[in-house]
């Protein structure tokens, strides 16, 4: 960490350092690289302890809980900053021009700015930890509830929030955009051949719909590969997670209803693995076929991913 300069000159600083310098706090503040290193170190220490040991089978819930705790800290700081801004707005409305009122305004703004910087700092730690987790395990962390305000490479939205935002476009943070591409795949479609064809299909979809958001349920297998693609490409994710506690075995199909309610411009499905010989006699994955059928009935463009080229099953 390094102390702030005694005068405010942010011309030679990057974005985060400029924000910390603008606070004019005499105490040193960690830099973005230091915060990133902290996130990597936290997950690195956890993974070093877990992998290869008796807790290795439980590395996913343990690491996702640690990252989730960092995310909860970001959300708490963001809520506190929002409350400070609300109070700042109230003071502006009642400002009487007095010196006391002016001091109160400056202090309220300083508190809001400091909370914004703290939330950003915690976000760097969270995102670095999530990246280290993905590199080490191949899993992609995403928050179980709510949305992420930027930060991670692929902004992730909760499907319920996205649906509410379609009705009220003023909620710009949660709106999925006008080019939603829905995707469902068999949980067993995780062979190298599956990964190649899934990435081909998603790259094609991004060419067709440059402003696309990718909507899926986040299930294991092909959908997890698609999540990783979105993270790497910086494509926004909309997650419609099945609610098994509420709907039981019907949950995957109810999730399809959410995906279609997002009004997708295109649906991609991979109902069976392309690289597992044992899958030859297995029936296609029902929820993927159901999504394709819903798209067909509504006249939504639908593409079934095949071993050579994606072939349309409905237009």
Query: For the segment 72-107, what is each residue's pLDDT rounded down to a tens digit?
Result: 999 899 889 888 888 877 777 777 667 776 777 778
What percent of the chain is modeled with pLDDT above 90? Answer: 43
Domain assignment present for residue 162? The answer is: yes
Please tell me whether residues 180 and 268 are part of one structural domain.
yes
pLDDT at 8: 40
Among the ranges given (114-118, 246-250, 272-276), the one the predictor scored with the smallest mean pLDDT: 272-276
More confident residue, 230 or 22: 230
Mean pLDDT within 176-189: 88
Is residue 190 classed exposed, middle or buried when 0-12, 13-18 and 19+ CB atoms within 10 A define those classes?
buried
pLDDT at res. 149 = 52
**Is the distance from CB of 226 to CB of 236 less than 8 angstroms?**
no
Residue 155 pLDDT > 60: no
**Residue 166 domain-assigned?**
yes
Segments forming the whole domain that contains residue 263? 156-314
Which of 103, 137, 171 delimits the end of a domain? Answer: 137
On whether residue 147 sits in a domain, the answer given is no
Q: How many domains does the chain have?
A: 2
What is the spatial distance between Cα 43 and Cα 38, in angstroms, rounded to a whole number?
Answer: 9
Same domain, 177 and 64: no
Q: In the predicted model, is pLDDT for residue 17 greater than 50?
A: yes
- Has residue 143 been placed in a domain? no
Which pLDDT score is estimated for 175?
A: 62
20 and 165 part of one domain: no
Backbone Cα Rg of the chain: 23
pTM for this prediction: 0.51
pLDDT digit string, tens, across residues 216-229: 998 889 999 999 99
For 304, the 3-state DSSP assignment is strand
Q: Does residue 10 form part of some domain? A: no
* 174 and 114 together in one domain: no
Q: pLDDT value at position 99?
A: 73
């Amino acid at each position: 960490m390094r102390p702030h300069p005694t005068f405010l000159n942010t011309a030679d600083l990057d974005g985060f350092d400029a924000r910390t310098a603008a606070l004019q706090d005499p105490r040193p503040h960690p830099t973005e690289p230091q915060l990133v290193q902290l996130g990597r170190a936290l997950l690195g220490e956890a993974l070093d302890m877990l992998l290869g040991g008796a807790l290795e089978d439980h590395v996913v819930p343990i690491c996702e809980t640690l990252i989730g705790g960092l995310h909860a800290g970001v959300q708490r700081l963001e809520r506190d900053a929002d409350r400070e801004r609300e109070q700042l707005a109230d003071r502006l409305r009642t400002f009487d021009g007095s010196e006391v009122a002016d001091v109160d305004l400056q202090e309220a703004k300083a508190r809001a700015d400091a909370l914004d910087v703290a939330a950003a700092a915690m976000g760097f730690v969270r995102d670095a930890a999530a990246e280290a987790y993905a590199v080490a395990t191949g899993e992609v962390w995403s928050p179980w509830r709510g949305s992420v305000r930027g930060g991670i490479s692929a902004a992730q939205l909760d499907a319920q929030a996205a649906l509410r935002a379609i009705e009220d476009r003023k909620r710009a943070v949660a709106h999925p955009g006008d080019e939603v591409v829905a995707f469902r795949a068999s949980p067993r479609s995780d062979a190298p051949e599956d990964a190649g064809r899934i990435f081909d299909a998603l790259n094609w979809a991004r060419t067709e719909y440059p402003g696309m958001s990718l909507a899926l349920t986040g299930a294991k297998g092909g959908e997890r590969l698609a999540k990783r693609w979105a993270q790497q490409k910086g494509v926004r994710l909309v997650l419609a997670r099945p609610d098994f506690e509420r709907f039981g075995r019907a949950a995957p199909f109810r999730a399809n209803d959410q995906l279609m309610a997002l009004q997708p411009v295109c649906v991609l499905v991979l109902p069976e693995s392309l690289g597992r010989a044992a899958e030859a006699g297995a029936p296609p994955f029902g929820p993927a076929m159901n999504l394709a059928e819903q798209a067909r009935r509504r006249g939504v463009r639908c593409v079934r991913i095949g071993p050579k080229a994606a072939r349309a099953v409905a237009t």
